[in-house]
Structure 1
Amino acid sequence: MSAMRGAAAYGRGASAYAKVGVESGVMSASPHQLIVMLFDGALAAIRTARIHLQDGNSAEKGKTISKALDIVNNGLLAALDGERGGEIAERLASLYEYVTRLLLAANLHNDVESLDQAETLLNDIASAWRDIGDQVARG
């Protein structure tokens, strides 16, 4: 019994430590790095949702897809500036809305292909964001 309590305490401690690390990273990140972190979070949630889907764990699948949806809608989509971003912002908004529809379909129909497509699209955009960051860092 005490070993289980110890494991639970360790899990809570590790989780708290990870949360502090993420919060510290957010506090010191540039706006560009924050967008990359959003992509990373959405992609991690999609990968986790796929595992839960394959394991038949509908509740956890739904939670992780909801997390990905939240990141896409309230992070990536909300961060777009239509005035300054112009046509690129409009196209990204359309793409994020499409990813949202894919994620909803994946959740509703247990559709791995929709998850795969959402992951591929987000990964492609994330790669472009990382390349931009690398170019800016090099000057």
Structure 2
Amino acid sequence: MGAMHRLQAIRQYRDSSVDAAMAAATPQQLVIMLLEGALDRIARARCAALGNERAARLAHIGAAISVLEYLKLCLDPAGGALSARLALLYDFCLRHLVQANTARDVVGALEEVAAVLRPIKQAWDELPAR
């Protein structure tokens, strides 16, 4: 099997594993997975920024933006004050991620967003499973 086919097989396996995990997850677990994904993309964008890898930085920031937009979309409007506060925090993070692409201190902007998301994820982690 050629190197290209091995990479494709690995990607398909990884994608199917993620799909299977998502299909079996509760809504709470899905939110946790999405927050982990956003934090992972932000960390990857930070590494790319430190390595002066512009294309990778942009791709990871774009992926983090997509995850946060999805999380914001999934907020229940009937969720009251909690949903409204989460929407504001997600908006803050989205603005900072967009601005990170043009900021002088890209790493600082990314760290700011991660600092906002970590406690949110931790709160979801600590919720009792339903």
After TM superposition, the score normalised by the length of structure 2 is 0.93
For the pair 1:45 / 2:41, whether they are aligned, the reply is yes
Q: CA RMSD in A?
A: 1.4
Q: CA deviation at 1:72?
A: 0.1
Partner of residue 35, structure 1 = 31
Q: CA deviation at 1:52?
A: 1.0
CA distance in 2, matches of 1:7, 1:50: 29
Q: Secondary structure at the match of 2:101?
A: helix
Larger radius of gyration: 1
CA distance in 2, matches of 1:12, 1:120: 35
Q: How many residues end up aligned between the 2 structures?
A: 129
CA distance in 1, matches of 2:103, 2:129: 41
Aligned residues: percent identity? Answer: 30
Partner of residue 97, structure 1 = 91
After TM superposition, the score normalised by the length of structure 1 is 0.87
Report the structure, 1 or 2, having the larger helix content. 1
Q: Show structure 1 runs of 5+ residues with no match.
A: none
CA distance in 2, matches of 1:72, 1:64: 12
Q: CA deviation at 1:7?
A: 2.9
Runs of 4+ in 1 over 6 A off after TM superposition: none
Map 1:1-139 → 2, pairs under 5 A: 6-73=2-69, 75-83=70-78, 85-109=79-103, 111-132=106-127, 135-136=128-129
Q: CA deviation at 1:8?
A: 2.7
Cα contact 2:103–2:109 (8 A) shared by 1 = no
CA offsets, 1:103-123, max 9 Å, x none? 112112251111001111111
Q: Show structure 2 runs of 5+ residues with no match.
A: none
